[in-house]
């Protein structure tokens, strides 16, 4: 690593050691066609992605002491398209679960959606308006386990009904694991999701709100997905949808959660922007 002054979002040696083997293996399989092999440290590329995630800055506003914007973009898009971002995420998740005495993959997941405003410049054909929440933009769907670890993420236009997002989530969960047998959802999801759950072998249970409750009342087990939504808000890049492609928005989630899990595994933390 070079001698620049560190940013609070930088990877520590211990955190880098967790993901470096995946990046090194990827790099060995993708030699540079321009002859610049090794010009940019892969650790610095990841540091740039984490800096942007935490601060929410635009590509052209990445600090000059990090690798050039073009190089960072190149790797972000490459890792998004070939799934390297998810490979890193899943390897970290398996380690966290095993450290907690759990099997690598869960048997139960919790689903939820969150509508986000889209930034100016986000293509109109990938956005819509959530008629219920009155939010123009995109809808982010999460499937998490009972520990609050991400199992799947999908990003769609906000106009897509929760059922459509839920069905896409179930398809991802079923494709990535063969252990999940049950999913908890709120009352916003309808019978179409339950029917699709039967088709992919996942039982859908609707966790109903107590009519006597007023205001926000955490619901047993379902509260973990709300906690994950809150944690992601510490990453300013995720507070609003800035990405031109939904796939990029999904990749941002994987990087943010990988950032969190690497800290869980090494006992480190990054100060919240709310504290600065």
Mean pLDDT, residues 215-227 taken together: 72
Element (H, E) at 86: helix 84-99
CATH number at residue 149: 3.30.420.10
What pLDDT is recorded for position 36?
Answer: 60
Higher pLDDT, 269 or 53: 53
Say yes or no to pLDDT of 134 above 80: yes
Q: How far apart are CA 72 and CA 200, in angstroms?
A: 38
Range 229-252 burial, b when 16+ CB lie within 10 A, else e: beebebbebbeebbbeebebbbbb
Say yes or no to pLDDT of 106 above 80: yes
Answer whether 177's CB lies under 8 Å from 168's CB: no
**Is 84 contained in some domain?**
no
**Is 175 contained in some domain?**
yes
Say yes or no to pLDDT of 136 above 90: yes
**Is 110 contained in some domain?**
yes
**Is 260 contained in some domain?**
no
**Is 49 contained in some domain?**
no
Label residue 57 by pLDDT band (50, 70, 90). Answer: very high
Distance from first CA to last CA of the chain, Å, rounded? 26
What pLDDT is recorded for position 3?
Answer: 79
**Is 138 contained in some domain?**
yes
Say yes or no to pLDDT of 214 above 60: no
* Residue 127 burial (C-beta neighbours within 10 Å; 0-12, 13-18, 19+): buried
The number of folded domains in the chain is 1
Domain of 122 in residue numbering reads as 104-242
**Is 67 contained in some domain?**
no
Closest CA to 156 of 134, 145, 141, 146: 141
Q: How far apart are CA 71 and CA 257, in angstroms?
A: 23
**Is 163 contained in some domain?**
yes
Answer whether 222's CB lies under 8 Å from 189's CB: no
Q: What is the pTM of this model?
A: 0.91
Mean pLDDT, residues 76-96 taken together: 98
Q: Which neighbouring-strand residues pair with 143? A: 111, 152
């Amino acid at each position: 690593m070079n001698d620049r002054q560190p940013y609070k979002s930088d990877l520590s040696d211990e955190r880098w050691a967790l993901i470096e083997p995946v990046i090194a293996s990827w790099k060995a399989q993708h030699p540079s066609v321009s002859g610049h092999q090794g010009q940019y440290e892969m650790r610095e590329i990841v540091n740039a992605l984490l800096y942007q995630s935490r601060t929410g800055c635009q590509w052209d506003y990445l600090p000059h002491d990090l690798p050039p914007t073009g190089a960072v973009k190149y790797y972000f898009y490459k890792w998004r398209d070939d799934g390297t971002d998810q490979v890193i995420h899943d390897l970290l998740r398996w380690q966290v679960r095993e450290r907690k005495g759990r099997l690598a993959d869960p048997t139960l997941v919790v689903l939820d959606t969150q509508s986000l405003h889209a930034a100016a410049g986000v293509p109109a054909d990938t956005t819509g308006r959530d008629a219920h929440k009155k939010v123009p933009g995109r809808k982010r769907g999460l499937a998490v386990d009972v520990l609050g670890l991400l199992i799947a993420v999908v990003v769609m236009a906000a106009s897509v009904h929760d059922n459509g997002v839920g069905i896409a989530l179930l398809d991802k969960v079923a494709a990535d694991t063969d252990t999940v047998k049950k999913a908890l959802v709120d009352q916003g999801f309808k019978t179409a999701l339950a029917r699709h759950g039967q088709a992919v072998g996942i039982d859908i249970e609707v966790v109903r709100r107590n009519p006597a409750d007023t205001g926000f009342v955490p619901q047993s087990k379902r509260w973990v997905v709300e906690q994950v939504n809150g944690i992601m808000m510490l990453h300013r890049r995720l507070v609003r949808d800035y990405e031109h492609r939904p796939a990029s928005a999904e990749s941002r989630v994987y990087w943010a959660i990988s950032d969190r899990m690497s800290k869980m595994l090494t006992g480190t933390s990054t100060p919240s922007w709310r504290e600065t």
